[in-house]
Amino acid sequence: MTILEARKLIIKTSLGSTAAVFVFFLVAPLFAFPLGWDQAQRVVEIVLPVFLGYLGTATHFLFKRSNSASDPELGDKAALLGLLVKGPLFVFGCGVAAILFAFGYSNRANARPDSGMSIDQLAWALTAALGILSASTSIAVSYLFSLGEKRESAAPPPITLKTTTTG
């Protein structure tokens, strides 16, 4: 995976996740998913900031004053970059699917009373999944969207001294 491909994947996944969170949790109460409006809002408040942070970092990268002319080559590490970007996204997606299924199924209409996952347990599980995602991808996101800054700022600009002659 190239650096550009990793950047694109993070941006697309963040945009897709943001849209999915909005759509799912805003319509879930309408379709008998066992989640009230206030509970759906709480979940959105937990999940959304991580992806908005990634998008903010990418936007800053895009509009910063100077971008480096080219990205460094990763060589043999390119495959590792793919694993470190795609892997946590896959694990997060599987985890969230399992969490939402468990919550919905355990709170279905014919479930045993008081046996379902509580909103606090749902919030905890989603926070844990986001923690795994954030811990494994935040360093990659920071690196991918700050490449070149350190190289450009590594050498300070030359200092020129004005000399005046008295005469």
Per-residue model confidence as pLDDT tens digits over 158-167: 555 555 666 5
pLDDT per residue over 9-54, tens digit each? 999 999 999 999 889 988 988 888 898 888 989 989 998 888 888 8
Residues 6+ apart with CB under 8 A from 145: 7, 57, 58, 60, 61
**In the chain, what are the domain boundaries?**
3-154
Closest-CA residue to 127 (of 53, 57, 50): 50
pLDDT per residue over 68-91, tens digit each? 556 667 777 777 777 888 888 898
pTM exceeding 0.75: no
Q: Alpha-carbon dihedral of residues 123, 132, 71, 60, nearest 10 degrees?
A: 20
Calculate mean pLDDT across residues 96-112: 90
